[in-house]
Structure 1
Amino acid sequence: MNAHALSQKAVEAYLSGNTRVEALEWDRARAEVARTGRPDLLARLELLRCAAQVASLDAQPCERFEALRVDAAPAERAYADYLAGRVQPAQIPLLPEAQRKVAAAGDAATLAGTDDPLSRLVAAGVLFQAGRINPPVIAQAVETASAEGWRRPLLAWLTLQVQRAEASGDAGAAATLRRRIAVVEQGAPSR
């Protein structure tokens, strides 16, 4: 229970952009899980961290999970593959329900039906990694991160919107989005 509470604090700190608190809480959560001697639980914890990164368009390999993959349950291995944008159809039934729907359908309507904000952002991040992103998904991700006050994913998704606006030659939209980014950056937490 301690590890769960600590991991939730770590995810919240990560999404809020508070790197100092995030690092402290992840270290504490890992220490709590390590006390169990169960690599499968540690693998699950590392997947949570990777999911938060995917939600924030931070496309790094999930190396800490990969080091534990051999001890992870099939559902965790499927989720890791999903986060990397390479889930196989046979793995979809092993995914959490919210992610299962998006993995099967992969569209904005399915994403909108995802109730949990973090699950919605993770699904949008996976669609981005898989090259199946579209403007409605990006807009949903921006609004989800904004509604939750999650600075890190909000900046990432807004930056993607700026890039898309610039690529389409819409200077007005790009300027509006840059002003929104500036507002978010003004509220940056102290490190």
Structure 2
Amino acid sequence: MTVHRISHAAVVVVALLLSACASRPLVPDWALEAQSASERAVKAYLQGQARVAEVEWRKALTEASATGQPNQMARLALLQCASQVAALEFTDCPQYQRYAAGAEPAERAYARYLQVQHTAQDVALLPMAQQATAAQLLKGQSGPWVPAAEAALSQLTAAGVAVRAGHVQLAGVQQAAQLASEQGWRRSAMAWLLLEQRLHQAAGDAASVQAVALRLQVLQNGSGENKKK
């Protein structure tokens, strides 16, 4: 049951998308359309509906491009990258790189964080939900890597960044897998469960490996798009 609003998931991305319009009586149509399309895109991607996500991202970027402002494009691209990290898909955020030169300091800090290249100066510029994880990674400290954030996407993004940094703890992976599962985010849940299964295999825990395999089987049922990948 999804109870978290995706619009709260990456404050540096979606909230800033509207910040340029905050002093005006009405929010421009492009901003509303871009936000709505990006939320649908994130949800579709995490659910494993790649084609739907691609269409919605295209809509969001088209709306933002009407402003002629590269920072608006960068913010949307970072939200897309954050959703990929939440599903353990690690890239160099190529869409963001196209507009990085026009990004603002907070966006650049967030981009570095997603790549695990952030600095101590970047931490204060990050969304609150990411600051604790960012600081812990800089200090080389261990988890918890799933923060007590309001939005599920924020929690999974932080956990994904930690995994990318090489901090993999079974308890955190299990928590992330359960969180994605509760949201009905098939793609993300499968990614985290596959990681959990590998950790159980490494530990020689055959019973847990089989238990995770059953959950993966359930997720694969009825997932026509995933079966084609």
| TM-score, normalisation: structure 2 | 0.80
- Matched-pair contact (CA < 8 Å) for 1:16–1:150: yes
Does residue 187 of the first structure (1) align with residue 222 of the second (2)? yes
Is it true that 1:130 corresponds to 2:161 in the alignment?
no
Amino acid at match of 2:82: A
Matched with 1:170 is: 205
Cα separation, 1, equivalents of 2:220 and 2:145: 31
What pairs up with 1:104-123 in 2 under 5 angstroms? 104-105=135-136, 107-109=142-144, 111-123=146-158
Q: CA deviation at 1:8?
A: 0.3
Equivalent runs, 1:6-155 vs 2, <5 Å:
6-105=37-136, 107-109=142-144, 111-155=146-190
Could you tell me the percent identity over the aligned residues?
A: 39
SS of match in other structure, 1:111: coil
Instruction: For residue 111 of structure 1, report the CA deviation from its aligned partner.
Output: 2.6
Structure 2 gaps, min length 5: 1-31
Q: 1:170 and 1:142, CA in 2 relative to 1: closer, same or farther beyond 3 A?
A: same
- Given that 1:18 and 1:190 are in contact with CA atoms closer than 8 Å, whether structure 2 keeps it comes out as yes
Q: C-alpha offsets along residues 34-92 of structure 1, whole Å, 9 cap, x if unaligned?
A: 11111100000000000000000001110111121110001000000100111111110
Residue 110 of structure 1, CA deviation: 6.2
1:78–1:26 Cα change, 3 Å: same
- TM-superposed CA distance for 1:175, in Å, is 1.0
Say if 1:17 and 1:189, in contact at 8 Å, map to a contact too.
Answer: no
What CA distance in whole angstroms lies between the structure 2 residues aligned with 1:115 and 1:137?
A: 17
Which amino acid is the alignment partner of residue 192 of structure 2?
A: W
Structure 1 Cα separation of the partners of residues 171 and 120 of structure 2: 24
1: CA distance between counterparts of 2:84 and 2:134?
18
Q: For residues 104-160 of structure 1, what are the alpha-carbon distances to aligned partners after superposition, in whole Å with 9 as ceiling and x for unaligned?
A: 235544634222100000000000001122112111111110110001110000000
More helix by share: 1
How many residues are paired up? Answer: 191
Structure 2 Cα separation of the partners of residues 39 and 54 of structure 1: 22
- Residue 25 of structure 1: how far off its partner (Å): 0.4
TM-score calculated relative to the size of structure 1: 0.95
1:157 corresponds to 2:188: no
Equivalent pair of 2:41/2:54 in contact (CA under 8 Å):
yes
CA contact (8 A) 1:112 1:140 kept: no
Q: Structure 1: where are the runs of 5+ without partners?
A: none
In 2: Cα distance, 1:190 partner to 1:102 partner? 33
* Matching residue's letter, 2:185: W
Equivalent residues of 2:112, 2:118 under 8 A apart? yes
Q: Distance in 2 between matches of 1:140 and 1:117?
A: 11
Please provide the CA RMSD for this pair: 1.4
